[in-house]
Amino acid sequence: MPTFLGLHAQPSRPLQVMLALLPFIALVCVYLGVSEMRYRNNPADKVVPTLGKMAEGVNQVAFTEDKRTGKVLLWDDTLSSLKRLGTGIGCAAVLALLAGLNMGLFPGVRNLSLAFITFVSIIPPLAILPILFIVFGVEETAKVVLIFIGTFPMITRGVYLAARKIPTEQIFKALTLGASQFAVAYRIVLPQIMPCLIDSTRLSLGAAWLFLIASEAIASTDGLGYRIYLVRRYLAMDIIIPYVLWITLLGFLFDRLLQAWISKRYSWYLVTKE
């Protein structure tokens, strides 16, 4: 029996790394094989570009100024998309913290808000995108609001569940010792649910990217999603694939940064999760 199979397998660290890399290596090998085969049959094929073609595409968008705008497209698109993403999910995280915390602690706020938040969380955000464009126009506001609406209920419910798990004995003890309700909420409970807020925000990033790309694809003049949908008219897979890989890399880096933040600042949270 190989050492990585079985219920009680304990693969060594090098073997863990090798197993983690294996699917990526297999995917790259399959792509290179298919690309080479299609290139031999048709050197002008655009559907599965070779690595050389993609390198030319990357050089064109990441290291060469655009003749029309004078900007380097990849970095300009990245900056525009990150502004929208950061504004939308940042506002969602701040308001979700306040809403989830108060819903978890105060029955009145819970009765007032929980059913509404649950209802909003069921609405498919992309279905209301045309409404947002009509109400807010096709500029930045509608894109940011879409990201906000798509992530706010999810983060709020995560914070709310974390606040509900705070032992009531801890709250009663603080009140008995003279703490006000405000102090209990924002000086005792809030620090304990901060890692949950970061964790919920981290898990919402995938949805936030989806809403960002969708909104940019429909109405925008810059951004990563806009560029992908613009060049698809020309079957420019040598640009689309690097853009998709770049978006994936950005998402991965944000995820790792938030995990590192939790690990460094709130190591006790990881212990309780185990």
User: Digits of tens for pLDDT over the chain (274 positions)?
Assistant: 556 677 778 888 888 899 899 999 999 999 999 999 998 888 888 888 989 889 998 998 999 888 888 889 999 999 999 999 999 999 999 999 999 999 999 999 999 999 999 999 898 888 888 898 888 887 889 999 999 999 999 999 999 999 999 999 999 999 999 899 999 999 999 999 999 999 999 999 999 999 999 989 887 888 999 999 998 888 889 999 999 999 999 999 999 999 999 999 988 887 776 6
What 8-state DSSP symbol labels residue 2? -
**What is the C-alpha to C-alpha distance for residues 214 and 75, in angstroms, rounded to an integer?**
19
**What is the C-alpha to C-alpha distance for residues 65 and 80, in angstroms, rounded to an integer?**
17
**What is the C-alpha to C-alpha distance for residues 42 and 55, in angstroms, rounded to an integer?**
19
Predicted local distance difference test score (pLDDT) of residue 274: 64
| Nearest to 126, CA basis, from 16, 218, 226, 236 | 218
Predicted local distance difference test score (pLDDT) of residue 261: 93
Q: Are 74 and 62 in contact (CB under 8 A)?
A: yes
pTM value? Answer: 0.87
Residue 44 CB burial class (10 angstroms; 0-12, 13-18, ≥19): exposed
| Nearest to 162, CA basis, from 92, 111, 97 | 97
Region label for 45, one of left (φ > 0), alpha (ψ between -120 and 50) or beta (otherwise): beta
| Nearest to 273, CA basis, from 199, 206, 202 | 199
Q: Are 207 and 148 in contact (CB under 8 A)?
A: no
Predicted local distance difference test score (pLDDT) of residue 45: 82
Predicted local distance difference test score (pLDDT) of residue 140: 86
